[in-house]
A and B are shown apart, each in its own frame.
Chain A
Amino acid sequence: MSDLLTVLVDGILYSSWLFIIAVGLTLIYGVMKILNMAHGSLYALGAYAAASLAGYWLNHGYAPLGSYGMLALAAVIVGLVMGPLIERGLLRFMYGKDEILLLIVTFALFLILEDVIKLIWGVDPFFISEPYGLLGSLDFAGLSYPAYNLIMIGVSLASGIGLLWILQYTRQGKLLLAVIHDREVSLAMGINVNRFYLITFTAGAMLAAIGGAFTAPTVSVVPGMGVEVIVLAFAVVVIGGLGSLQGAALGALIVGLVRSTAVHYLPEIELFSIYLVMALVLLLKPQGLYSAMEARKI
């Protein structure tokens, strides 16, 4: 029994991490129809910025609890700098082009950003592990878990619910839904679509950076860390149905639980468990679990 509970807890913890890294990707795809390969680089940038900023904060002897604020601040800065830079500087010239071409543009961007990160921070790893241990540990089902995991769950829930609330209950959110639904009609109705694209991309970049920033204390921040999350995030988003928030949440939950079950009972298949799930879900629901109906063009 406690075994099953462990599987569940491990699965949920992993899911919350997956959701943080995937939510920005699904938001950008939902609004702009861009599958952003550079998402992984933004995640890595967030992690590096967080390690630098929180490291600076702690080295100067400020209140250790403030380091959580620094993680968030780092993510916000990365989002506000990189989002507009990429969207205004590059992507806006590409709108209306083929989805695949846009995908490749973000791939090129990813290659460039990987080396930019290397030029700024070098190849040596960075640690910012203090925030991870600061809150102590909790005992659960006979095992101890760092309380930092609660922060991860909190960030994950906050970003998901926050986005959902904005979309459904604010005026701007409703306008955004209109843009998602039909770009041309929205333009005709006088909605400033370009502004929404800028805001969306910035928000998506910020979410990626939040993912990286809050992951930073649990890992060593190293070159190439962005590559690893890209396909994971893709898989989660595709399983859930591209562009759907609820889908991303469900996708993260499924992948997290499947992986933790595999690790506990069948470690041999961990390597491709996620792809098996993805293939299975797509075979049963070709558009992912939560997919918007698409009008057929005749």
Chain B
Amino acid sequence: MKQKQLFSIKLFPGICFVTFLALTSILGWTIPAGAADEKPIKIGVVTFLSGGAAGPFGVPARNGAEVLTEALNMGGKVPTPYATKGFGGAPIELVFIDEAGGVTKQVTEYRNLVQRQNVDLVIGYISSGDAIAIPPVAEELKKLTIIFDAGTPRIFEDGSYKYVFRTGAHATMDNVAAAYYVTENKKIKKIAGINQNYAWGQDSWNDFEAAMKALNPGVQVAVSQMPKLFAGQYGAEISSLLSSGAEVVHSSFWGGDLEAFVLQAAPRGLFKKSTVVLTAGETAMFRLANQIPAGTVIGGRGPHGVFAPDNELNRWFRKAYQERYALFPTYPAYKMVQAILGVKAAYEKAMAAAGGKAPNQDQIIAALENLTYETPSGKVEMALGKGHQAIQGTAYGTVKHVKGQLTIANIKHYPAAKVNPPEGVKSEDWIKSGFKKTK
């Protein structure tokens, strides 16, 4: 008896480990279903489903993906040129992963998506940290990966990738266009900023400050507030901005922070004293319709949402989204749609080139490089980063209340070439050079 027990003890941890490995493998290897010709194209979609970024970004993006893929899978629902079913006739299947939890987890989950769930491509990433970490992994695993939202210009300015694309313009555009907008009619002497203390906030402020200095030589920076991400209470910062005497206050706040800031700053008259520019204000404008004071300048990180052109695709998307979620789509939803449609356009272009056969990944990549395609937000050109980084025009507008309804007045559109650096030039250098057109 004793002997027998000793034996089992020695092996017990080993048995446990082996069982663990076996169980995870069984759980992990999904069995491919369906007949060969109907094999769906499986897309891993990574977006925030929890935490502070879920409400303003993650969930609208997920909703956008769901509305579009359902319509695509029915075939003939989406206006031309996207009327074919799925991707070139093959249905699309989405697998969602929460983007919360930090880079270490996201890299692990990316590998799991590709190697355990065998997705055909990955679309995702709102956080710039994730968007910087994922591309080398995508190259290692040789898997087509589309970054749909993250703003940092570093991805294709510091690196060069075969399998990675970004179908949304990077954040430089937002702040350069914001600087153009506020200097349109008047010379600005003093600016101030309030941005979250992390890469996105710091980069946004640096770009805006540099662009203002380029457009307005001699402009003074009164104060730059950098509260902690998700700080929630901005009393002291607002006091400091109020007494700074700045004519323009720049903020790249988003989500709960943006909303808290507007709720706390509006009653104290900050919006009357200065022109406040909210570069990501569009995500909050419908919810904050009664609280955002008139005169606030709002951007939507591209020609999305209220800034989108009145084309057939946009009319269809707004209607479909509204019918399903009883809300207007905001820019993350548009950007997600832009990503999926980009792949669809490339897939079908590659399919035509391959004589109607389902294209392989390399053919899709070749088709997507330097592609120009139509979306609900207008034309997208894959013009930077050797054809892997999109550029797009953008727009800013001013809040106006008409009969108790929030509207955006005085909308100015900026063409892509005016607010994006030329190929091969780093955004930072481009702004400092005074927006030179060539190298």
Interface residues of A (CB under 8 A from B): 3, 6-7, 9-11, 13-14, 17, 114-115, 118, 123-125, 127, 129, 132-133, 137, 142-146, 149, 215, 217-220, 222-225, 227-228, 259-260, 263-264, 267-268, 270-271
Contact = CB atoms under 8 A, between A and B. Distances in A.
Given A125-B55, A225-B230, A220 B260 contact: yes
A6 B243 contact: yes
A145 B259 contact: no
Interface in B232-268: 232-233, 235-237, 239-240, 242-243, 255-256, 259-260, 263-264, 267-268
B235 A132 contact: no
Nearest to A118: B50
Contact of A218 (B49, B242, B263): B263
A10 B230 contact: no
A264 B239 contact: yes
B267 A223 contact: no
A219 B258 CA distance: 9
Contact of A125 (B58, B236, B259): B259
B268 A144 contact: yes
Closest 6 pairs (CB-CB, A-B)? A220-B259, A222-B256, A10-B236, A123-B54, A263-B236, A219-B260
A115 B49 CA distance: 11
Contacts of A227: 230
A7 B243 CA distance: 12
B39 interface: no
B217 interface: no
Contact of A267 (B59, B226, B242, B267): B226
A259 B228 CA distance: 11
A225 B54 CA distance: 12
Contacts of B356: none
A190 B224 CA distance: 61
Nearest to A217: B263
24 contacts: A6-B243, A10-B239, A13-B235, A115-B50, A123-B54, A127-B259, A127-B263, A127-B287, A127-B291, A132-B267, A143-B242, A144-B268, A149-B235, A217-B263, A219-B232, A219-B259, A219-B260, A219-B263, A222-B55, A223-B55, A260-B235, A263-B227, A263-B236, A271-B228
Contacts of A3: 243
Contacts of A6: 239, 243
Contact of B237 (A145, A223, A263): A263
Given A125-B259, A260-B236, 11 more contacts: A10-B236, A137-B267, A137-B268, A215-B232, A218-B233, A219-B232, A224-B256, A260-B235, A263-B236, A267-B226, A270-B227
Contacts of A125: 55-56, 255-256, 259, 287
Given A17-B233, A125-B287, A127-B287, A223 B50 contact: yes
Task: Determine the interface band of chain B, counting residues with CB < 8 A from chain A.
Answer: 35 or more
B267 A133 contact: yes
B197 A271 contact: yes
Interface string B152-176: 0000000000000000000000000
B373 to A, nearest CB: 31
Given A137-B267, A142-B243, A267-B223, A10 B52 contact: no
A187 to B, nearest CB: 42
B394 interface: no
Interface of B: 49-52, 54-56, 58-59, 197, 223-228, 230-233, 235-237, 239-240, 242-243, 255-256, 259-260, 263-264, 267-269, 287-288, 291
B434 to A, nearest CB: 28
Q: Which of A7, A125, A228 has the most CB of B within 10 A?
A: A125
A13 B52 CA distance: 25
Nearest to B232: A219
Contacts of A11: 236
B102 to A, nearest CB: 13
Contacts of A133: 267
Given A14-B236, A225-B230, A114 B50 contact: yes
A139 B239 CA distance: 12
B232 A225 contact: yes
A254 to B, nearest CB: 15
Nearest to B59: A123
A129 B232 contact: no
Nearest to A125: B55
A33 B236 CA distance: 34
A94 B28 CA distance: 36
Nearest to A18: B233
Nearest to B291: A129
B256 A220 contact: yes
A223 B227 CA distance: 19
A227 B51 CA distance: 9
B240 A263 contact: yes
Given A10-B239, A132-B263, A270 B233 contact: no
Contacts of B59: 123-124
Q: Which of A10, A17, A215 has the most CB of B within 10 A?
A: A10
A123 B50 contact: yes
Contacts of A268: 226
A123 B49 contact: yes
Given A123-B59, A144-B269, A228-B230, A267 B263 contact: no
A115 B236 CA distance: 32
A67 B236 CA distance: 26
Contacts of B225: 263, 267, 270
B243 A143 contact: yes
Given A144-B268, A267-B223, A223 B52 contact: yes
Nearest to B52: A224
A123 B255 CA distance: 11
Contacts of B259: 125, 127, 219-220, 222
B388 to A, nearest CB: 31
A11 B237 CA distance: 11
Nearest to B228: A271
A267 B267 CA distance: 23
B235 A14 contact: yes
A13 B264 CA distance: 13
A227 B256 CA distance: 13
Contacts of B256: 125, 219-220, 222, 224-225
